[in-house]
Amino acid sequence: MQRDVVIRWIHQISALIARLLRRDPGVSIQFAQDQLDDAKRMLLGGLDPVLDRLEPGPAADFLVDPHRIYGYAQLVALESALERVRGRAESASRLGRRAVALARKAIDRSEPAPAEWIAWTDAAERDLGASAE
């Protein structure tokens, strides 16, 4: 149940951020940030300040469940997109790399790894390479 709610929130936040990137009226960075913060609290139970200080490997060890690790990776990627909208390219790139590393940890711990996880992670990694050029 909780996992389904978080997945729905991730999709909603993704759509909000896409609207921000298109500069659609009626969507604010603060509203998207609030939604992201709510999703993180729901997924992590308030552990995000601790997890944010850990490297991806120990953070994944702490979360244990591959689905939870992958959900966290997606939320970090959305946070990266918000940083990009704010014009903070260096922070956005750092968070993007973190999201990919977390997603790879989730894939490594899932037998078998869902194909959509692999596709998302590969695409995120390609996007990071393209933005570094």
Number of domains in the chain: 1
pLDDT in tens, 14-57: 777 777 777 777 778 888 888 888 888 888 888 888 998 999 99
Domain of 49?
2-132
Q: Please, are residues 106 and 70 in contact by the beta-carbon 8 Å criterion?
A: yes
Structure tokens at 19: 């609207």
Q: Please, are residues 99 and 71 in contact by the beta-carbon 8 Å criterion?
A: no
Residue 5 clears pLDDT 80, i.e. is over it: no
- Per-residue model confidence (pLDDT) at position 1: 43
Q: Please, are residues 127 and 97 in contact by the beta-carbon 8 Å criterion?
A: no
Count of residues in the chain: 133
